[in-house]
């Protein structure tokens, strides 16, 4: 009996060991798929075995890997439950990354506040503080963008004609006239019949789409020729500058597992392509798993830029480049684009004619997921000033595969000088998992509204002649309406243009103004009120203070005072009112004898005349008159004085000797004397005709 029991115990132990060994082999195979980014297959295998795992640490690891499989295949909602289960199984004790990636999944679902909670937990559990802070910043950016998107100048629209319920992305021009594109799609018309072990989707192929004469998409997109599309996975990339050669990605798969991705070229032959040729970048005899793809050519075709996870990079996926050897007629000198790459992922390079590099990354502060960035060229394949494109081009979802729209059209009109682009995104509101989107910057629109008033009465002035001259050479002549207003619409007020406004009315002192749209970032209606002073022949008009050194006639100009600037007020009036003849009057205070003050004031008035004639005012329009101390100042409403001066010397105050001598403070007496030392003008005539 004891022998029988021993045999039974041994049988049970052997059976349990056999079962555990079989289970481990299945998990090991799932681990191999996971390590090779075969996430769809790995998830299926993990889920089949996870309930059988007794060891809590191993179960926690597998639960976390399932969550990662779903996150990496953009099934974010499905990943959340498994992150929770992994945390409940204490996997966060093994690595704080569970919180980081949990936060990323939440952020992709636009649950920004919940994502921040997870990023803070990641930081608190010993995760990289800088990375946590960067991810939190992306959430903050995305939240701010959501609040301000309604005011954004950018309009983002789904290119519904190209998109399906499957993945559609990576639009690229394929003709010189910019009326044809290639792009990548997993739609049912794809040649490849297999399923990707990464996400379980059908293999993708290169498709061709065309525009009509109005630059609208026409006809159903068609697959590229079978020399490009195969049973494997193909993705569109870029053409050379003559649009004769397509650079694209091909990923091969076999029964043993997924092989690496490589870049191929295929020459155009009418509407088809010649046999594709491999660009030898990775030595496949020693590396059969690294992925190379998303090719981009520099405008001078000297550099081939692409994304790869090959060893030697700074992060998961990096941008790399090779140089074209003209003698050997091949690509060589494989180099990491170190000035761009981060510890995160960089994808989808695109270079403009001026060398600006656009790319997608999750390693810089953006808005969440992959974002589109641009970098300024600083040298041969060196870059700086990396900045994220604004929302709503970037979003909390994945945004990538950017290109400039060469022929942007709005309401059937070609938009000149307007920023527009195509890009790809899995943001909400699309038709499929990844869609192609179009964005354009609303053209800046400027208008100008002005209203003329009688400065003395406050009433509006109709019939004023208004002349607006732009730095682009355009001139507009308008007249104020019954309400004293005039208006220039958006067809007349242009971007990056300076304007002068001159407004005149008979028996009023005309005035002028300037405005400019240069550097304006928002559409604007420039509004201005113009106050015209009624002409009263012989009336004294005040001017900004013109000062002179003690007992001298020259204009006082030092670090604190520039009396020449004060005279610019009258210079402008004379320039804007060319029929005026004026008398400049200079006054002194009452100190000193009368004869000396008369002589001094006459000299100062003549100094003002000399200054104005030096600026182009005809001498016969100017009369110099020295008033000496004969007309002490009376403070009037409308005098160009400070509030403090009006408070000390109210309107109606006569600054004669009796008043000044009665002031208790010496400083007050000095200020009163200074107010008497003034230069004013009177309009003598308004019928001046320049001599020929």
Q: pLDDT, tens digit, for every residue of 2-14? A: 444 444 443 444 3
The candidate with the shortest Cα–Cα distance to 425, out of 374, 366, 360, 363, is 360
Judge whether residue 203 has pLDDT over 50.
Answer: yes
Band (pLDDT 50/70/90 cuts) for residue 548 is confident
The phi and psi torsions of 271 (rounded to 5 degrees) equal -90, 0
Band (pLDDT 50/70/90 cuts) for residue 198 is low
Query: Cα dihedral sign for 50, 51, 55, 57?
Result: positive
DSSP codes joined into one string, 403-446: EE-SS-EETTEE-TT--EEEEEE--TTSSSSSEEEEEEEPPP-E
Say how many Å lie between the first and final Cα of the chain, rounded.
141
Band (pLDDT 50/70/90 cuts) for residue 580 is very high
Q: What pLDDT was estimated at residue 5? A: 43
What tokens does 488 get?
């220039």
pLDDT in tens, 393-423: 999 889 999 999 998 887 777 777 789 999 9
Judge whether residue 550 has pLDDT over 70.
Answer: yes
Judge whether residue 180 has pLDDT over 80.
Answer: yes
Band (pLDDT 50/70/90 cuts) for residue 192 is low
Per the prediction, the chain carries an average pLDDT of 89
Domains of the chain: 23-151 (1.25.40.10), 154-441 (2.120.10.30), 446-534 (2.60.40.1120), 540-685 (3.30.1330.60)
548 φψ region: left (φ > 0), alpha (ψ -120 to 50), beta (else): beta
Judge whether residue 18 has pLDDT over 50.
Answer: no
Q: What pLDDT was estimated at residue 692? A: 67
pLDDT in tens, 220-254: 999 999 999 998 889 999 999 999 999 999 987 65
pLDDT in tens, 305-320: 999 999 989 988 999 9
Walk across the sheet containing 511-516 and list its strands.
475-479, 465-470, 498-504, 511-516
Give the burial class of 659: count Cβ atoms within 10 A of its Cβ; 0-12 exposed, 13-18 middle, 19 or more buried: middle
CB burial of 515-542 (b: ≥16 within 10 Å; e: otherwise) equals bebeeeeeeeebeeebebbebeeeebbb
Q: What pLDDT was estimated at residue 35? A: 87
Band (pLDDT 50/70/90 cuts) for residue 199 is low
pLDDT in tens, 40-52: 889 999 999 999 9
pLDDT in tens, 512-530: 899 999 998 888 999 999 9
Band (pLDDT 50/70/90 cuts) for residue 557 is confident
């Amino acid at each position: 009996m004891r022998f029988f029991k021993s045999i039974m115990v041994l049988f049970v132990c052997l059976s349990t060991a056999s079962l555990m060994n079989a289970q481990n082999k299945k998990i090991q195979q799932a681990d191999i798929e996971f390590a090779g980014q075969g996430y769809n297959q790995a998830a299926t295998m993990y889920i089949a075995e996870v309930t059988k795992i007794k060891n809590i640490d191993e179960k926690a690891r597998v639960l976390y890997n399932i969550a990662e499989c779903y996150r990496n295949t953009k099934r974010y909602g499905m990943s959340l439950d498994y992150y929770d289960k992994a945390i409940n199984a204490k996997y966060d004790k093994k690595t704080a990354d569970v919180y980081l990636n949990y936060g990323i999944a939440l952020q992709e679902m636009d649950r920004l506040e919940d994502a921040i909670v997870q990023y803070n937990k990641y930081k608190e559990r010993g995760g990289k503080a800088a990375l946590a802070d960067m991810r939190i910043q992306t959430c903050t950016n995305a939240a701010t963008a959501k609040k301000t998107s309604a005011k954004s100048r950018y309009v983002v629209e789904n290119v519904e004609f190209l998109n399906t319920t499957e993945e559609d992305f990576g639009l690229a021009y394929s003709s010189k006239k910019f009326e044809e594109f290639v792009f990548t799609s997993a739609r049912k018309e794809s040649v490849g019949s297999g399923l990707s072990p990464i996400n379980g989707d059908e293999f993708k192929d290169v498709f061709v789409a065309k525009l009509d004469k109005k630059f609208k998409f026409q006809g159903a997109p068609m697959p590229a020729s079978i020399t490009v599309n195969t049973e494997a996975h193909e993705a569109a990339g870029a053409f050379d500058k003559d649009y004769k050669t397509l650079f694209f990605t091909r990923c091969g798969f076999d029964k043993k597992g997924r092989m690496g991705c490589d870049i191929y070229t295929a020459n155009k032959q009418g509407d088809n392509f010649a046999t594709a040729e491999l660009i030898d970048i990775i030595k496949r005899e020693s590396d059969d798993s690294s992925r190379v793809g998303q090719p981009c050519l520099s405008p001078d075709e000297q550099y081939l830029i692409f994304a790869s996870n090959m060893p030697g990079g700074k992060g998961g996926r990096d941008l790399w480049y090779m140089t074209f050897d003209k003698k050997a007629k091949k690509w060589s000198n494989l180099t990491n684009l170190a000035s761009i790459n981060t510890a995160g992922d960089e994808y989808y390079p695109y270079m403009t004619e001026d060398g600006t590099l656009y790319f997608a990354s999750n390693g810089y502060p953006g808005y969440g997921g992959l974002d589109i960035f641009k970098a300024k060229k600083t040298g041969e394949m060196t870059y700086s000033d990396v900045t994220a494109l604004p929302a709503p081009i970037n979003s909390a979802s994945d945004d990538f595969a950017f290109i400039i729209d060469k022929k942007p059209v709005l309401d059937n009109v070609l938009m000149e000088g307007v920023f527009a682009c195509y890009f790809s995104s899995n943001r909400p509101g699309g038709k499929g998992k990844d869609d192609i989107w179009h964005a354009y910057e609303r053209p800046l629109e400027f208008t100008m509204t002005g209203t003329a008033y009688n400065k003395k009465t406050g009433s509006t002035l109709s019939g004023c002649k208004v002349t607006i001259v732009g730095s682009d050479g355009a001139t507009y002549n308008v007249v104020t309406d019954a309400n004293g207003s005039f208006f220039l619409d958006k067809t007349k007020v242009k971007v990056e243009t300076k304007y002068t406004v001159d407004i005149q009315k008979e028996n009023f002192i005309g005035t002028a103004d300037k405005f400019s749209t240069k550097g304006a970032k928002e559409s604007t209606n420039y509004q201005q009120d113009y106050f015209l002073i009624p002409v009263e022949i012989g009336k004294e008009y005040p001017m900004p203070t013109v000062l002179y050194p003690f007992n001298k006639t020259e204009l006082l100009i030092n670090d604190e005072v520039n009396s020449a600037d004060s005279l610019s007020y009258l210079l402008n009036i004379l320039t804007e009112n060319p029929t005026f003849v004026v008398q400049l009057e200079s006054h002194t205070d009452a100190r000193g004898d009368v004869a000396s003050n008369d002589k001094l004031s006459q000299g100062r008035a003549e100094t003002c005349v000399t200054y104005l004639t030096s600026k182009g005012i005809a001498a016969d329009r100017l009369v110099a008159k020295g008033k000496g101390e004969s007309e002490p100042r009376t403070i009037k409403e409308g005098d160009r004085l400070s509030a403090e001066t009006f408070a000390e010397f109210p309107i109606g105050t006569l600054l004669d000797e009796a008043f000044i001598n009665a002031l208790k403070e010496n400083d007050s007496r000095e200020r009163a004397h200074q107010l008497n030392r003034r230069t004013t003008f009177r309009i003598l005539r308004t019928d001046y005709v320049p001599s020929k």
